Structure 1
C-alpha cells in the first residue's frame, strides 16, 4: 500500500490548451476524395457499433400518476470489438491504413456524446449520423515542415496546407500543431500552448443574471452589464424571424438570404463574448474565477413564458467556456460551484429565506443585501469551503445595500472602458 502511495515527482502536472485557427481550403477538389472516403469509413463504423449497442427503456409511474421513461444505453467495449472491427474496415478502405483507427475513435466518440444526451432527454433513440463530411487528421498522418503541414492521403500521395501568410503567424510561432480538421471550405489548425504552472493570487466569485454579472472579489462588489449583449440577441431574433418568413415565400432568393443570415447572430455574439472576456481578464489577471454550474433546461420547467424567453437569450455557458479557454493564458483558472440556494441563503448565519425580492433580508439575524450581490458573496464562501459556522470575517457583518446605483469616480482603473468597439459597464460597490 505504501508503494502505491509513493510520489515519484513533486513537479505539478503540465497543462495545455489548444489555440485553433482556420485557413481557407484552397484545395477543395483534392480534399473531396479524402472526405468522401473517410465519411464512408465513419458511417460503416457507426453501423457496426450501433448493431452492438443495447437500448433498454423502462416506463415508471410516480405518486402523482405521471408516466416517466428511464433509458439505459450500453455501448460495446472497445477492447472486445476493436480487432475484428478494424479488419472489416480495412477491407473497404482506400486511404492510408491509419484512417481506419481514426474512424473507429471518432465513431466511439460520437456514440458516447449521443449517449450522454439521451440520458439527459435531449436526443432521440435513433442512430446518430454524420451530416457533413469532415476529416480529423491523426498525428501519424501529418508532418510539419516550417510553416506548412503535409497530410498523407494514400501511400506517397500528399496534401500541403500553409499558414505562412496568415494573420496569426506570429501567435503560433514555436507552438506544436495538433490534429488538423479538414472541412469543405476551411481547414482548422489547433496549436498546443503549454501553460506554465502558476498559483492565482486573487479570487472573483461571479453570479450570472439576466442583464448583469455580479461579482465579489473578497473586498468589494463589481457589476458587469450585459444589456448590450441581451439587446443584440433580442434584435437578431426579430430579424431572423423576418428573414425566415421572407425566405419561405421567395424560393431561390429566399434561400440565399437565409444562408447569409444563418451564422450572423452566432458570429456577433461570439465576437462580443470574446471581447468581454478579454476585458475581464485584463482587469483581473492571476485570478481564480468562480462561476455557477448552471442548467438552463431546468430553469424552463417552473418559469413563465415571458421569463423562459428571457432566459433563452442568455449566453452564460458560452461566457464560462470562453473564460475557461482564455484564463490559462493570463495565469488564471476557472472553478465551478453548485448555485443551489446561493441567492436565498444568509452568509452570516446560514438561514434560508423562503421569499426573496430585489433585496435579501435575513429573518433570523437581520442581514440585508442586494439579492444578486448576496449570491456572489455565497458563491465566494462556497469556493473557499466555508459555511456560516466557520467564523466569517467580521468585515462581512452589517453589510447593507447601497441606495441606488453609484457612478464611479473619473480616473478609476475599473471605470467603464472601450475595448475594440465594445463598451463594458462596470460599477463598484463598497461596504458600509
Structure 2
C-alpha cells in the first residue's frame, strides 16, 4: 500500500525594513473584518448529548456578504495594495472557524477573538521572485520591499515552489509546498503519552519505550531557577528580565530536544502512521497543585505537532485507553505501574496496555482474546507474560511484570 501527500516547509529570513506602520494598519484591518463577521453570526439553540440547551454559532458564508459587502467595507480608507484586503478576509474567517471549533468543545467562551499579534500574510499575487530576490508589494507602483535570499542556506536544498509569505516586524517567513514522495506504508504505530515516557506498540515492532526524563529535567531545572527569582522579583522589578530570559531559554532547549526526538522517531519508524492521544491539558488540571504542575510541564502537544511535520499522524480518543483491558475489553481501575483485569486475569504494564488499546482503535478493531493472542504471537514469539508461547503456564499465576520493552530509546540531553 502506498500513498502521497503535500508537505510544507517554512524558513525565516531577517529583514531590516521598518514595517510597523504597515503591520499595525493590517492588524486593524484584520480586527475590523473579525468584528464585521462576528456581528453577522447567527446563534441557534441545540441540545447536546446530555440534553442540555446550548447556543451554537453559525458563521456567515454567503458570497454577497463575504465578497461584496465585507470587501467593499474594508476597502474604504485602505491605502495599501487591494489584495491585502482579500488576505485579511481569509485570515479573519480562519480565526473565527478556529474559535468556533474550540467553543463547541467547551474550550473557549462566547467572546469575540482579538487580534494582538502584528503580521501580514502575503499572497502569491503580492510578491515576485527573480534572480534570488523577493520583491513584496506594499503600495502599487509606489512602495515595495526587496529582500535578497540568493545566499540563504535553504534555497539550494528546498523542493517545490514558493508559496505564501508571512511578514513580521523582524522576519519574513518563506513557505514552500511540495508533493511528498510515495512511500510504502508499513502499518500503524500507537503511542501512549506519559509524563516521562512515550510507549508505542505495533505488531511489527513490539513494545517501544522512549524515555522523556531528560525533557522533564529541562523543565524542572528552569522551574527551580524561576522560583528563586520570583521570590525576589516582587521587591526588585529589574529581575523580571532575567525571568523572561530563563523562560525563553527553557522553551528553546525543550523545542530543540523535541525536534531531535521527533526526527529520530520519524527516521527510525519510517513508513508508519503514528497515532497519538488527543489529550487536553485543561481537562487534566483538576488534581493537586503538584499534579497540575507536572501536567503543565508535559510537551505532548508539541511532540505531536513536530511529529506531524515529519510523518503521518493520527489523533486518537484517549477515553479509557488505560483502564480498558486490551484482551477482553473490561474497564478496570489500574493501580500503580501494572494493569490487572478482574474479568480475564490479564496482567501487564499499564502503559503497554494503553498503547495496545490505542493501536486497536487505529485499526478500528474491538478488544478480543483471539485478536490479542494473534498480536502477541507475531511479536517475536512472546506471549503477554514474557514467557515462551509454548510454555502453557497459568495466566493467573504469572508475574505482574508481563513484558519488557523490546526497544528502549533515550536521547542525550541538549546543551
- More divergent stretch after superposition (136-145 vs 290-299): 290-299
Give per-residue Cα distances to partners, 1:310-360, cap 9 Å, x unaligned.
112111111111111111xxxxx2222222222222222222224443211
Q: Which of 77, 93, 101 is matched with 2:61 structurally?
A: 77
Rounded to whole Å, the distance in 1 between the matches of 2:403 and 2:365 is 30
Unaligned runs of 5+ in 2: 378-382, 387-398
Look up the SS of the partner of 1:77 in the other structure: coil
Query: Do the aligned residues in 1 keep the contact of 2:274 with 2:313 (CA within 8 Å)?
Result: yes
Instruction: Give the corresponding residue for 2:389.
Output: none
Give per-residue Cα distances to partners, 1:380-427, cap 9 Å, x unaligned.
22222222348314462751268879999xxx9x675766x559xxxx
Instruction: Give the corresponding residue for 2:95.
Output: 110
Instruction: Give the corresponding residue for 2:221.
Output: 235
Rounded to whole Å, the distance in 1 between the matches of 2:234 and 2:128 is 47
Rounded to whole Å, the distance in 2 between the matches of 1:166 and 1:276 is 26
Q: Which of 31, 46, 49 is matched with 1:43 structurally?
A: 31
Look up the SS of the partner of 1:196 in the other structure: coil
Instruction: Give the corresponding residue for 2:293.
Output: 309
Rounded to whole Å, the distance in 1 between the matches of 2:165 and 2:192 is 37
Instruction: Give the corresponding residue for 2:20.
Output: 32
Query: Do the aligned residues in 1 keep the contact of 2:198 with 2:209 (CA within 8 Å)?
Result: yes
Query: Do the aligned residues in 2 keep the contact of 1:55 with 1:71 (CA within 8 Å)?
Result: yes
Give per-residue Cα distances to partners, 1:272-300, cap 9 Å, x unaligned.
11111111122211122122222222222
Shift of 1:245: 4.7
Shift of 1:259: 4.3
Instruction: Give the corresponding residue for 2:145.
Output: 159
Q: Which of 253, 263, 276 is matched with 1:291 structurally?
A: 276
Aligned 1:33-432 pairs, distance under 5 A:
33-54=21-42, 70-82=54-66, 83-156=68-141, 157-172=143-158, 174-218=159-203, 219-251=205-237, 253-301=238-286, 303-327=287-311, 333-389=312-368, 391-392=370-371, 393-394=373-374, 396=376, 398-400=383-385, 422=414
Rounded to whole Å, the distance in 2 between the matches of 1:38 and 1:395 is 56
Q: How many residues align?
A: 393
Unaligned runs of 5+ in 1: 1-11, 328-332, 424-432
Query: Do the aligned residues in 2 keep the contact of 1:206 with 1:379 (CA within 8 Å)?
Result: yes
Query: Do the aligned residues in 1 keep the contact of 2:187 with 2:271 (CA within 8 Å)?
Result: yes
Rounded to whole Å, the distance in 2 between the matches of 1:199 and 1:221 is 22
Look up the SS of the partner of 1:348 in the other structure: coil
